[in-house]
């Protein structure tokens, strides 16, 4: 049964599927890297510390399928592939910039909340070990 209070939470809600495609960890970082200029696969991979070749390929395919990124084959020897943000993808810049600004503004509060949570969890673990 769809959730009428939060329709985006419904499994069949189109926005839920799209958000899953564009707002995951690597998609946001890929789009940020492509924001200034088109990049070839390996240049993009070098900019994204920690991403595997498989994860980058998967992310780029998903973004291309959704019309957010376009893939262009460059006729050279060897053949090269370049990725760029599409006009549709550019419409995500403002929301992603707002999200980035939020992280800059509130990261101290998030870190403080983590510390409080971790201390509480540690205290609970210490209590249960003493039993």
If you average pLDDT over residues 57-61, what whole number do you get?
Answer: 97
Q: Are 86 and 69 in contact (CB under 8 A)?
A: yes
Q: Is the residue at 2 inside a domain?
A: no
Strand partners, 115: none
Confidence label for 1 from pLDDT (cuts 50, 70 and 90): very low
- The domain tally of the chain equals 1
Q: Is the residue at 58 inside a domain?
A: yes
Higher pLDDT, 104 or 1: 104
Give the tens place of pLDDT for each residue, 62-94.
999 999 999 999 988 888 899 999 999 999 999
What's the CATH number where 53 sits?
A: 1.10.10.10
If you average pLDDT over residues 114-118, what whole number do you get?
Answer: 97
State the Cα–Cα distance between residues 54 and 29, nearest whole angstrom: 15
Q: Is the residue at 1 inside a domain?
A: no
Q: Is the residue at 35 inside a domain?
A: yes
The answer for residues whose C-beta is within 8 angstroms of residue 40's C-beta and 6 or more apart is 80, 81, 82, 83
Cβ atoms within 10 A of the Cβ of 66, count? 16
Query: Residue 95's domain spans which residues?
Result: 7-129
pLDDT of res. 5: 62
Confidence label for 20 from pLDDT (cuts 50, 70 and 90): confident
Strand partners, 69: 85
């Amino acid at each position: 049964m769809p959730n009428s209070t939060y329709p985006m939470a419904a499994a069949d809600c189109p926005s839920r599927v799209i958000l899953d495609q564009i707002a995951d960890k690597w998609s946001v970082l890929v789009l940020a890297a492509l924001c200034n200029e088109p990049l070839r696969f390996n240049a993009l991979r070098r900019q994204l510390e920690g991403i595997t070749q498989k994860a980058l390929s998967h992310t780029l395919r998903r973004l291309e399928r959704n019309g957010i990124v376009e893939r262009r084959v460059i006729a050279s020897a060897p053949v090269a592939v370049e990725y760029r943000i599409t006009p549709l993808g550019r419409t995500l810049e403002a929301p992603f910039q707002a999200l980035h600004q939020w992280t800059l503004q509130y990261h101290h509060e998030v870190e403080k909340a983590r510390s409080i949570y971790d201390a509480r969890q540690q205290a609970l673990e210490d209590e249960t070990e003493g039993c």
